[in-house]
Amino acid sequence: MIEIAAGIEVPDAELEFAYIRSPGPGGQNVNKVASAVQLRFNAGQSVILDDWSRTRLATLAGRRLNKDGWLVLSAHRHRTQEGNRRDALERLGELIAAARERPKARRATKPTRGSRERRLEGKKQRTDVKRLRSRPSFD
């Protein structure tokens, strides 16, 4: 089990790490060392996600989630492999935490009478400004 965020532990079997050459910082070393990390998380078969969270994760992840249910995160901000690995795990933790969080239900409300009147008054003022800018009519 790997703890990726507070209270979120992921089994090792659901994570795969691949180390690739980084397009980020590293100087001449960037051409020799595979410091970037590609983290793959099996979201489709994950035991830590319920169906609702899995659906929300798919929405939040967007193109990073492939059709086989694997979430792919690439990290290349840091010069070291370990720094990029930590970065990828942190980002995965943030995504999973956001997917588990239920959004507040929106309740429909009506604008108050005062706000409607203020909006209409603003529209009238704008109309007057535009009318004064136009050429005078000779009736």
pLDDT tens digits for range 48-57: 888 888 888 8
Distance CA 92, CA 49 (A): 13
Q: Residue 23: helix, strand or coil by DSSP? A: coil
For residue 60, tell me if it sits in a domain: yes
Structural domain of 27: 2-100
84 neighbors 76 (Cβ within 8 angstroms): yes
Number of domains in the chain: 1
**pTM tops 0.85:** no
Q: Please report, for the domain that includes residue 15, its CATH number.
A: 3.30.160.20
What totals of helices (H) and strands (E) does the chain contain, helices first?
3, 5
Distance CA 111, CA 5 (A): 41
Q: What is the pLDDT of residues 21-71, one digit of tens each?
A: 877 666 677 677 888 899 998 888 887 888 888 888 888 888 888 888 888
For residue 7, tell me if it sits in a domain: yes
